[in-house]
């Protein structure tokens, strides 16, 4: 159960970048999976080649994916946004295919892991051994989510992004250049994915398709918590983390994904705006 | 329109169809085993793309996870033949029926969702169904896979059998789409795709039509899945509940021209032939190239070949005809 | 003029949105063969009433009876099949289908005994297009049409349903004087063929000219009803539109 909670924090971070792009740009970014993976691999290679501590490599992986995301958005995505949600979904699916398979070709499907010296050690909480790493990941993830939320409400760029989400037309009138905002948003989403990816590399073993199962969770959490709601993402992340851990214990690992999907479909039918969702992106503030 | 040109047009079409029919029947007799297999695959994708066209091109519902019905059909045939010693053709019919029923049952709830929500829900359904099939492993063989009884006959005969089977299914799918396009169902679907509210006040029972469309699409897809199970003779859930395959058929329909009758087949042939010819050898590069193709299609030909062709023809005739831009969310 | 039998009767028609009543306790009747004008200031509830009649919104209270049948709980398509057709204020043409196909929809899905199969429907559509003057644009796609022509298409499509009752929601909006005149003539000719019509309109000249009777809504309630001339001089109506200063002292 404690594990479920801790994992939930990480899930929330994974979801926030995805939810951001969806809420602001109305783009369901399948490539989010690839960005997570690339963030993870960045940390892995920095660790493998230069012995960087994975937590220290987070800024680097974020920067790399920020640049990649910005590039992809300005060159490709912005041209297709006008075709609607489904076309952009298909587009990002294509991008995801390209990135994941390039990774597969470059680095093979071998499982890798990042194992810094302190990896095995942990803390005893309530009779359960909790690895320091998991704890750190949880705290860091939650910190990132909170920082991001502050970014949205306190900074000029953040406000511009929120404004664009709420009313692109009006935002444009105030001098905001939509394409730039979109590129920025997408880049931030990718950077957040990368941060999550870096953390994932420490907690899980990685391979080129590692992002897929996290993308699925990001879907579920976004829908569960409500599109565009950061507290919703946190809540959703924790709920999913707990639900999965519960399902694993009671029904077995095989069913846990079916459970999360059933939850997803149910929510879409019963309460499509999610638990805490409003129609458009709005931060904590 | 005066009767003379119409009759002339009808005669030309009939002749064209006969010629096509003869051409289509030739390959297994003259081509190598490799090519017959490739063509059989093309025909299969043609059928799948036509089936998904009903949802994407007519109803305007992006059924990204439609492959779930393929999987249901495949496993129906597998289970019936393995566990209950059913004759293949009986199992095949059951596959289509079961897949259609599955859509009918799900449709009532899921078709209330629109656009990407519907698309995501179908992906979720595909994934969940795959899980369920895997977990029912006493029945389906689960993750270990299940072997389907082989076609009783020599290699030559087997090759021909599956070629003509897939050909038949593709013809069935295309004929179904053609029929739909000409009758009330087709018009009703196109109307509700354009404007559900407008369609409803025009007397279109949008709920019923959507469910009917999905049921037909699912049934056709299930039939193809059932045939595939017999063809491949070995199934594992990831093979037939493959979301990449699903999106591929979706792209084929869009590439060829969603909402047209021939478009999806053209798209299927083009895409599949391309990948088989040039990139079939390296699995990873194949997927990579598929990704590139997807991106290029969405960027440059979102309305698909047939709609593009129609537009060009219209331009040449001096009449401006806007093309559809795929099936938007 | 002899009293015509009522075709559509509304009894205590009420619709709430949250706590606000968009339409409240409206009693009205539409007589067979007449043109009933529905007027009132913006937000009076006219379009809501039309949405209630056509089944796009459920009734919160009250009932609507058409040819003796209650419309309560019926889906929009069932209501269309009963013989009630409508146009929308912001037109909803079927994109991706030609003008001809748009109108053919009506012929295909018309009420009991009047629907025809697809192929025939295209021919029936041609007749309707002739009548409204869109015949030369029959192969155009809807986004190639000007707003005036789209309004006409909207009307043609509703007509093709061969309705007993036609609901026109601000069909004249956005048209110039000449177009308004043309459309008025068209509406009159449709009525002359026996189609009962409810018209919502802000173009006063038009609605005064074609209506046999008027019903006036204000803040969701009916405040006046009767022949156009009488209603135009009704104190309550004038107050509603122009404010109290103008209303006072004007007697009926």
Would you tell me how many other CB atoms lie within 10 Å of the CB of residue B316?
A: 8
User: Is the pLDDT confidence value at A279 over 50?
Assistant: no
- Using a CB–CB cutoff of 8 Å, tell me whether A101 touches chain B: yes
Contact B299 A101 (CB under 8 A): no
Comparing CA positions, the residue from B215, B321, B275, B239 lying closest to residue B267 is: B275
Q: Which residue of B has its CA nearest to A259?
A: B128
User: Is the pLDDT confidence value at B199 over 80?
Assistant: yes
DSSP C165: E
- Structure tokens that stand for B255 in this block: 């590439």
Indicate the pLDDT class of residue B97, thresholds 50, 70 and 90.
very high
Provide the ipTM.
0.88
User: Which of B65, B109, B116 would best serve as a mutation to test chain A binding (most A beta carbons within 10 A)?
Assistant: B116
Question: Is the sign of the CA dihedral C202, C206, C209, C212 positive or negative?
Answer: negative
- pLDDT number for residue A256: 66
What is the rounded average pLDDT of the residues C127-148?
89
Does A189 map to a domain? yes
- pLDDT number for residue B202: 93
Tens digits of residue pLDDT in A164-177: 887 777 777 777 78
Locate the domains of chain B by residue range.
Answer: 1-30, 33-242
User: Is the pLDDT confidence value at A109 over 50?
Assistant: yes
User: Is the pLDDT confidence value at B329 over 50?
Assistant: no
To the nearest 10°, report the CA torsion of C116, C122, C124, C128. 130
Residues 6+ apart with CB under 8 A from A15: A217, A218, A221, A222, A225, A233, A236, A237
Beta-strand relationship, C84-86 and C165-169: parallel
Alpha helices in chain A (DSSP H): 2-25, 32-50, 58-72, 78-80, 85-107, 132-154, 156-166, 168-173, 178-203, 210-225, 230-250, 253-270
Q: Which residues pair with C65 in a beta bridge?
A: C9, C70
Indicate the pLDDT class of residue B189, thresholds 50, 70 and 90.
very high
Distance CA C201, CA A41 (A): 65
Comparing CA positions, the residue from A187, A216, A211 lying closest to residue A103 is: A211
Residues of B with CB under 8 A from a CB of C: 182-184, 186-188, 190-191, 193-195, 197-207, 259, 319-322, 324
What is the rounded average pLDDT of the residues C94-102?
92
- Which of B182, B203, B320 lies nearest to residue C109, judging by beta carbons? B203
What is the rounded average pLDDT of the residues A113-142?
78
Tens digits of residue pLDDT in B32-50: 888 888 899 999 999 999 9
Does A118 map to a domain? yes
| Window 191-230 of A, Cβ < 8 Å to B | 216, 219, 223
Supply the Cα-derived Rg of chain C in whole angstroms.
Answer: 18
| Window 102-141 of A, Cβ < 8 Å to B | 102, 104-105
In our burial notation (b when 16+ CB lie closer than 10 A, e otherwise), range A1-31 reads: ebbbebbbbbbbbbbbbbbbbbbbbbbbbbb
Lowest mean per-residue pLDDT among A7-21, A264-278, B128-142: A264-278
- Which of B183, B187, B198 lies nearest to residue C92, judging by beta carbons? B198
- pLDDT number for residue C3: 66
DSSP B146: E
Residue bearing the bigger pLDDT, A166 or B278: A166
- pLDDT number for residue B116: 74
User: Is the pLDDT confidence value at A281 over 60?
Assistant: no
- pLDDT number for residue C35: 94
- pLDDT number for residue A3: 76
- pLDDT number for residue C116: 85
Calculate the alpha carbon distances from B172 to B51, B113, B183 in Å.
10, 29, 17
User: Is the pLDDT confidence value at B266 over 50?
Assistant: yes
Contact B326 A86 (CB under 8 A): yes
Yes or no: say if B66 and B122 are a contact pair by the CB < 8 Å rule: yes
Phi, psi of C39 (to 5 degrees): -125, 170
Residue bearing the bigger pLDDT, B146 or C242: B146
Phi, psi of C23 (to 5 degrees): -135, 130
Distance CA B81, CA B231 (A): 13
Comparing CA positions, the residue from A284, A285, A279 lying closest to residue A22 is: A279
- Using a CB–CB cutoff of 8 Å, tell me whether C165 touches chain B: no
Contact A272 B117 (CB under 8 A): yes
Residues 6+ apart with CB under 8 A from C47: C89, C169, C200
Does A227 map to a domain? no
What is the rounded average pLDDT of the residues A196-201?
92
Residues 6+ apart with CB under 8 A from B152: none
Q: How far is A41 from chain B (nearest CA, A)?
A: 18
Q: How far is B9 from chain A (nearest CA, A)?
A: 35
Comparing CA positions, the residue from A24, A83, A28 lying closest to residue B298 is: A83
Contact A84 B294 (CB under 8 A): no
Lowest mean per-residue pLDDT among A114-123, C103-112, C188-197: A114-123
- Structure tokens that stand for C56 in this block: 């796009």
Distance CA C197, CA C184 (A): 12
User: Is the pLDDT confidence value at C247 over 70?
Assistant: no
Distance CA A175, CA C22 (A): 38
Lowest mean per-residue pLDDT among A143-157, A266-280, C6-20, C175-189: A266-280
Comparing CA positions, the residue from A67, A60, A33 lying closest to residue A45 is: A60
User: Is the pLDDT confidence value at C252 over 50?
Assistant: no
Phi, psi of C229 (to 5 degrees): -60, -45
- pLDDT number for residue B320: 45
H helices, E strands: number in chain B: 16, 2
Region of C242 (left: φ > 0; alpha: ψ -120 to 50; beta: rest) is alpha
Yes or no: say if C10 and C28 are a contact pair by the CB < 8 Å rule: yes
Tens digits of residue pLDDT in A210-236: 898 888 888 888 888 877 778 888 888
**Ranges A132-136, B25-29, C166-170, most confident:** C166-170
Lowest mean per-residue pLDDT among A193-207, A216-230, C30-44, C118-132: A216-230
- pLDDT number for residue A272: 66
Calculate the alpha carbon distances from C96 to A123, A125, B137, B258 in Å.
63, 63, 47, 11
Yes or no: say if B227 and B266 are a contact pair by the CB < 8 Å rule: no
* B·C CB contacts under 8 A: 91
What is the rounded average pLDDT of the residues C29-38?
93
Question: Is the sign of the CA dihedral A57, A60, A62, A68 positive or negative?
Answer: negative
By residue range, what is the domain housing residue A16?
Answer: 2-210
- Using a CB–CB cutoff of 8 Å, tell me whether C48 touches chain B: no
Comparing CA positions, the residue from A258, A255, A254 lying closest to residue A266 is: A258
Distance CA A79, CA A107 (A): 31
Tens digits of residue pLDDT in C109-125: 988 777 788 888 999 99
- pLDDT number for residue C250: 45
Lowest mean per-residue pLDDT among B12-16, B180-184, B240-244: B12-16
Yes or no: say if C84 and C111 are a contact pair by the CB < 8 Å rule: no
Region of C20 (left: φ > 0; alpha: ψ -120 to 50; beta: rest) is beta
Contact A219 B254 (CB under 8 A): no
Secondary structure of residue B318 in the 3-state scheme: coil
Phi, psi of B277 (to 5 degrees): -65, -50
Tens digits of residue pLDDT in A44-100: 999 989 988 888 899 999 999 999 999 999 999 988 888 877 788 889 989 998 999
Indicate the pLDDT class of residue A193, thresholds 50, 70 and 90.
very high
In the predicted model, what is the mean pLDDT of chain A?
Answer: 83
- pLDDT number for residue B140: 82
Tens digits of residue pLDDT in B46-93: 999 999 999 999 998 989 899 999 999 999 999 999 989 899 999 999
- pLDDT number for residue B325: 41
Contact C77 B191 (CB under 8 A): no
| DSSP-assigned states of every residue in C179-201 | HHHHHHHHHHHHHHTT-EEEEE-
To the nearest 10°, report the CA torsion of B109, B111, B113, B117. 110
- pLDDT number for residue C77: 94
* Total domains in the fold of chain A: 1
């Amino acid at each position: 159960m404690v594990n479920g909670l801790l994992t939930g924090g990480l899930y929330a971070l994974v979801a926030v970048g995805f939810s951001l792009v969806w809420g602001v740009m109305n783009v369901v970014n399948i490539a989010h999976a690839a960005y997570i993976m690339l963030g993870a691999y960045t940390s892995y290679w920095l660790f493998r080649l230069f012995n960087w501590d994975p937590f220290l490599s987070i800024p680097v992986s974020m920067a790399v994916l920020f640049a990649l995301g910005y590039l992809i958005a300005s060159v490709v995505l912005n041209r297709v946004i006008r075709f609607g949600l489904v076309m952009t979904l298909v587009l990002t699916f294509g991008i995801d295919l390209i990135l994941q398979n390039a990774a597969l070709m470059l680095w093979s499907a071998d499982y890798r892991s990042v194992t810094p010296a302190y990896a095995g050690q942990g803390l005893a909480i309530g009779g359960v051994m909790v690895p320091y790493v998991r704890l750190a990941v949880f705290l860091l993830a939650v910190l990132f989510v909170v920082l991001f939320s502050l970014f949205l409400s306190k900074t000029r760029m953040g406000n511009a992004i929120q404004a664009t989400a709420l009313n692109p037309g009006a935002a444009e009138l105030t001098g905001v250049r939509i394409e730039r905002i979109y590129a920025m948003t997408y880049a931030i989403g990718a950077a957040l994915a990368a941060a999550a990816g870096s953390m994932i590399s420490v907690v899980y073993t990685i391979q080129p398709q590692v992002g897929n199962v996290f993308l699925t969770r990001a879907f579920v959490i976004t829908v569960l918590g409500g599109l565009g709601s950061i507290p919703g993402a946190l809540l959703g992340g924790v709920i999913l983390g707990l639900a999965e851990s519960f399902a694993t214990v009671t029904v077995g690992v095989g069913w846990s994904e079916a459970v999360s999907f059933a939850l997803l479909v149910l929510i879409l039918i019963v309460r499509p705006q999610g638990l805490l969702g409003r129609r458009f992106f709005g931060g904590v503030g | 329109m005066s009767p003379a040109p119409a009759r002339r047009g009808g005669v030309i079409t009939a002749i064209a169809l006969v010629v096509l029919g003869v051409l289509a029947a030739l390959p297994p007799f003259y081509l190598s085993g490799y090519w017959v297999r490739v063509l059989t695959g093309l025909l299969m994708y043609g059928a799948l793309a036509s089936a998904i066209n009903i949802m994407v091109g007519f109803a305007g519902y992006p059924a990204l996870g439609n492959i779930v019905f393929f999987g249901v059909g495949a496993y129906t045939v597998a289970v019936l033949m393995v566990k209950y010693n059913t004759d293949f053709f009986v199992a095949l019919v059951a596959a289509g029926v079961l897949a259609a029923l599955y859509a009918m049952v799900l449709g009532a709830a899921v078709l209330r969702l629109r656009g990407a929500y519907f698309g995501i829900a179908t992906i979720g359904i595909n994934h969940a169904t795959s899980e369920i099939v895997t977990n029912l492993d006493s029945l389906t063989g689960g993750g270990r896979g299940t072997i389907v009884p082989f076609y009783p006959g020599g290699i030559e005969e087997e090759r021909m059998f599956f070629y003509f089977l897939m050909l038949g299914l593709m013809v069935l799918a295309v004929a179904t789409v053609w029929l739909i396009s000409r009758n009330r169902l087709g018009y009703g679907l196109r109307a509700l795709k354009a404007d559900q509210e407008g369609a409803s006040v025009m007397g279109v029972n949008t709920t019923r039509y959507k469910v009917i469309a999905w049921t037909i699409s699912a049934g056709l897809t299930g039939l193809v899945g059932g045939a595939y199970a017999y063809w491949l003779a070995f199934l594992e859930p990831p093979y037939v509940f493959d979301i990449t395959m699903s999106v591929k058929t979706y792209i084929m329909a869009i590439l060829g021209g969603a909402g047209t009758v021939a478009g999806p087949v053209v798209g299927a042939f083009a895409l599949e032939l391309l990948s088989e010819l040039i990139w079939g050898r390296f699995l990873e590069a194949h997927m990579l190239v598929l990704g590139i193709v997807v991106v290029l299609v969405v960027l440059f030909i979102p309305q698909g070949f047939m709609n593009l062709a129609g537009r060009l023809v219209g331009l040449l005739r001096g009449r401006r005809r806007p093309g559809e831009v795929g099936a938007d969310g | 003029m002899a009293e015509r039998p009522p075709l559509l009767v509304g009894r205590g028609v009420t619709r709430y949105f949250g706590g606000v009543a968009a339409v409240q306790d409206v009693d009205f009747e539409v007589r067979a063969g007449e043109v009933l004008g529905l007027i009132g200031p913006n937000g009076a509830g006219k379009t809501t009433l039309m949405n209630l009649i056509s089944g796009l919104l459920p009734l919160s209270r009250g009932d609507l009876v058409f040819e003796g049948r209650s419309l309560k709980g019926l889906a929009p398509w069932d209501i269309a099949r009963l013989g009630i057709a409508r146009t929308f204020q912001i037109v909803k043409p079927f994109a991706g289908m030609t003008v001809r196909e748009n109108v053919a929809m009506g012929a295909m899905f018309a009420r009991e005994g009047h629907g025809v199969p697809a192929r025939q429907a295209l021919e029936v559509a041609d007749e309707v297009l002739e009548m409204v003057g869109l015949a030369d644009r029959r192969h155009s796609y809807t986004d190639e049409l000007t707003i005036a022509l789209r309004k006409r298409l909207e009307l043609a499509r509703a007509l093709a349903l061969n309705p007993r009752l036609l609901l026109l929601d601000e069909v004249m909006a956005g048209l110039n004087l000449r177009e308004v005149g043309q459309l008025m003539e068209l509406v009159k000719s449709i009525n002359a063929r026996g189609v009962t019509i409810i018209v919502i309109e802000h173009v006063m000249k038009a609605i005064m000219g074609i209506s046999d009777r008027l019903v006036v809504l204000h803040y969701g309630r009916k405040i006046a009803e009767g022949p156009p001339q009488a209603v135009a001089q009704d104190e309550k109506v004038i107050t509603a539109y122009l404010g109290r200063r103008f209303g006072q002292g004007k007697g009926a």
